Amino acid sequence: MHPDTPQPPPSLRLTVDTDALAANWRALDALSGAASAGAAVKADAYGLGVDTCVPVLRDAGCETFFVAHWSEVAGVAAHVPADRIAVLHGVLSEADCAYARSIGAVPVINSLDQARLWQASGGGRCHLMVDTGINRLGISLGESGDPVIGGLAIDILMSHLASADETTAMNRMQAELLREAADSIAHQRLSLANSAGIALGEAFAFDVTRPGLALYGGVPRAELEGHIRQVARVEAQIIQCRQLAPGDAVGYNGTFIANTPMRVGTVSIGYADGFLRSRGPGNALLHQGRPLPILGKVSMDMVVTDLAAAPDLGPGDWIEVPWNIADAAQQNTLSPYEMLTVLGRRLRGA
């Protein structure tokens, strides 16, 4: 290959509406009342790309960013000061502590063992997770009086709502338990609410909220409808068109068999790109509002669609792949979180 030969354009494209992303953060910040909204940008900004999303969120006014793994810090730190980045999984080794000090990101301490490890490495600013009922990460309330906790320099004391997308007494109980923990643990700021928690009202906002899904277009509670805009748009090209005769089978295992003559199109997207097989049966792709039903099983790199509603389409034409995560009809058996985070590398690199 000649080194100057340009790579051809991809047959997939993911468009991130950065204006909508910024508007979503501003709306969630306003709904947080006196609290400041941060942003969960873990999992490559929920699949939409840290390099695309973090500068937009930063410029909109966001000052605190949350990731899960230390491996995610450098990508975010390319756009914001590292001391604005909180690492939710905390420190599991001396290497984690050394990296935290080197780059300046802030660990979320989740256990007495993590607290001891952080203190043994020199201590300093950290955040602390208190478990109030989700039983994933965090110290128990009974451990709040341990001397190692008293020795931490805690900025954000936080917990995580287990059922914020539901109306349940557990939400109020968790907020009250965090208030109790705050009475006995020295801290600078409190944080509890995720996207759905923001919709529960200012009593759950405390000082810092941690929206994730709603930033990227999800609506986990009805109260957020009208405030949140769609952010992601996915399109794929038709690779080939063909005519089916009655009796022709489509795809693996021939799960669709034509009973009349049909014109169909093979489209350049599959489960390797995050369009999972569960989204195939009974669903459709779109072109200018015209539904193009999916025929047969979703393959790794392609799906076949019925072109009866769009006889004008041919190879090279672009098809919309429904990815509105606020639309429950498009979620099928997937949660909106999964619809974003399963986006494949071919789409995210497009």
Catalytic center residues = 42, 252
Distance CA(127)–CA(153), nearest Å, equals 8
Picking from 219, 218, 216, the residue whose alpha carbon sits closest to that of residue 232 is 216
Write the secondary structure of 218-242 as one string of H (helix), E (strand) and C (coil): CCCCHHHCCCCCCCEEEEEEEEEEE
* CA dihedral sign, ordered 22, 24, 25, 29: positive
Q: For residue 181, give every residue at least 6 positions away whose Cβ sits within 8 Å of its Cβ, in sequence order, or none.
A: 130, 132, 141, 144, 157, 159
Token reading at 251: 């795809």
Picking from 339, 350, 340, 344, the residue whose alpha carbon sits closest to that of residue 45 is 340
Distance CA(66)–CA(170), nearest Å, equals 24
- Whether the CB-CB separation of 350 and 12 falls below 8 Å is answered with yes
Q: For residue 122, give every residue at least 6 positions away whose Cβ sits within 8 Å of its Cβ, in sequence order, or none.
A: 97, 101
